[in-house]
Amino acid sequence: MRIAMIGTGYVGLVSGACFADFGHQVTCVDKDEGKIASLRRGEIPIFEPGLDALVDSNVKARRLDFTTELKAPVAEADAVFIAVGTPSRRGDGHADLSYVYAAAREIAGALAGFTVVVTKSTVPVGTGDEVERIIREVNPSADAVVASNPEFLREGAAIRDFKFPDRIVIGTLDERGRKVLSDIYRPLSLNQGPLMFTQRRTAELIKYAANAFLATKITFINEIADLSEKVGADVQEVARGIGLDNRIGSKFLHAGPGFGGSCFPKDTRALVKTAQDHDVQLRIVEAVLGVNDNRKRAMARKVATAVGNSLRGKTIAVLGLTFKPDTDDMREAPSIPLVTGLLDMGAKVRAHDPAGMEQAKKELPDIEYFDDPYACVNGADAMVLVTEWVQYRALDLDRLKATLARPVVVDLRNIYRAEDMAAHGFVYESVGRASEPKV
């Protein structure tokens, strides 16, 4: 099958490379000439484990190509995937669909022969209807079917998620469209990837509902963590105890500083706005957004408490800046409000991250960055663990204690055990577990 992938961001690049690895002929299209030139040189603009090798092997096999010219790839394609950004619109929280609609107009003018136009971007319910209207308006003679095929990729594990999916949701009831998309995903049949066909609007809502539910699980366990601290319980044992119930499951029950990233904050806001537009109140999802925002801001106060309430003139070392490990994505990362809060309280902040420091410098320009975690904590009054990178899971605790000016560790991901930290002489503060005495 011939595929045109419009957009070479996270979703477009990962999807395009994986489709090419299935044996399809894929052309990724992007207006950014610099990005296309970089991709042609083999330079990957995002950090995703295994993606550089996957792109390189399929380019060499001549199954994957990159261009700024949309017309020819679309005219030759059996399916055109729209994988452009849908960021939160400033001011109201709605998804900004301007890139989707602009892509639809360009695609419409280039269509030749029967083509399935697929929205891969995360879009509100009804977006496919508007894409179809635009195509009919621009090119009334176009023989095209518009389908929805939302992505369910986790940053840091995207290639495996694409090749071993829990489900593949396709929103179209058109038989020709179903056949084309079934053929595209047929290589996954050996992995028994469940193909689920629905109406287009249902597929669009599945994506938002899934992300809102996962965000709710995270927020729920974070609130239970707050209660655990007050009553002397251990939130990790609580999470395990409830997660062993297969009706609940153990995933997304890890207490921490709140959720961030490119999907959960944006998609939960967009879902709330969609509901409001249809006179429906999603009180649970609205509460999730409010609780999560408050939690991220509260983490700076947690650090202040650990060092004796005042941060004025103190140096705080932050380990981990990206919203999760194995990515360089800083979008809505909990580290941003944390560091901003620390600075507002008068602290000097230094930071280390294995992959995200270049991106972080755009969001947090007023702090000092270090290439080594031990250099980062050298002389600091406290160390704060924000992202659970594997590099931070086995730090030399004796060296750490000798390096810090004060033996204070605030572990926002519960990486370490309180008894181990106490044995090494640390004042240790974690999330949802009993606090250690302050120095």
Q: In this predicted structure, what is the pLDDT of residue 90?
A: 76
Q: In this predicted structure, what is the pLDDT of residue 438?
A: 45
- Which DSSP symbol is given to 329? -
Q: In this predicted structure, what is the pLDDT of residue 435?
A: 61
- Active site (catalytic) residues: 263
**In b/e form, how buried is each residue of 186-215, taking b as 16+ CB within 10 angstroms?**
ebbeeeebebebbebbebbbbbbebbbebb
Which residue do the tokens 């038989």 mark? Answer: 175
Q: In this predicted structure, what is the pLDDT of residue 439?
A: 46
Q: Which of 172, 95, 174, 109 is nearest to 141 (CA)?
A: 109
Measured distance CA(318)–CA(324) in Å, rounded: 14
How many CA atoms are closer than 13 Å to the CA of 357, on its beta-carbon side?
15
Q: Which of 37, 34, 36, 15 is nearest to 24 (CA)?
A: 15
What is 2-198's CATH topology? Rossmann fold (3.40.50)
412 pairs with which residues across the strands? Answer: none
Please name the amino acid found at residue 289: L
Q: Which of 298, 301, 299, 308 is nearest to 381 (CA)?
A: 308
pLDDT digits (tens, 9 = 90+) for 16-36: 999 999 999 999 999 999 999
Domain boundaries, the chain: 2-198, 290-429
- Which DSSP symbol is given to 438? P
Burial of 56 (0-12, 13-18, 19+ CB in 10 A): middle
Task: Read off the tokens for 142.
Answer: 């176009």
Q: Which of 28, 29, 10, 30 is nearest to 19 (CA)?
A: 28
Measured distance CA(255)–CA(243) in Å, rounded: 13
Rounded to the nearest 10 degrees, how much is the dihedral formed by the CA atoms of 152, 156, 162, 168? Answer: -10
Strands (E), 345-391: 348-352, 368-369, 382-385
Q: Are 348 and 316 in contact (CB under 8 A)?
A: yes
Count CB neighbours of 309 within 10 A. Answer: 10
Asked if domains 2-198 and 290-429 share a fold, the reply is yes
Instruction: Mention the CATH class of domain 290-429.
Output: alpha beta
Task: Read off the tokens for 228.
Answer: 């655990």
In order of 208, 278, 355, 390, 419, the CA distances from 385 in angstroms are 30, 42, 15, 12, 17
Measured distance CA(3)–CA(6) in Å, rounded: 10
Residues of the chain with pLDDT under 70: 91, 191-193, 435-439
383 pairs with which residues across the strands? Answer: 317, 409
Which residue do the tokens 């669009």 mark? Answer: 204
Burial of 425 (0-12, 13-18, 19+ CB in 10 A): exposed
Q: Are 305 and 342 in contact (CB under 8 A)?
A: no
Q: In this predicted structure, what is the pLDDT of residue 437?
A: 44
Measured distance CA(205)–CA(425) in Å, rounded: 51
Measured distance CA(255)–CA(221) in Å, rounded: 6
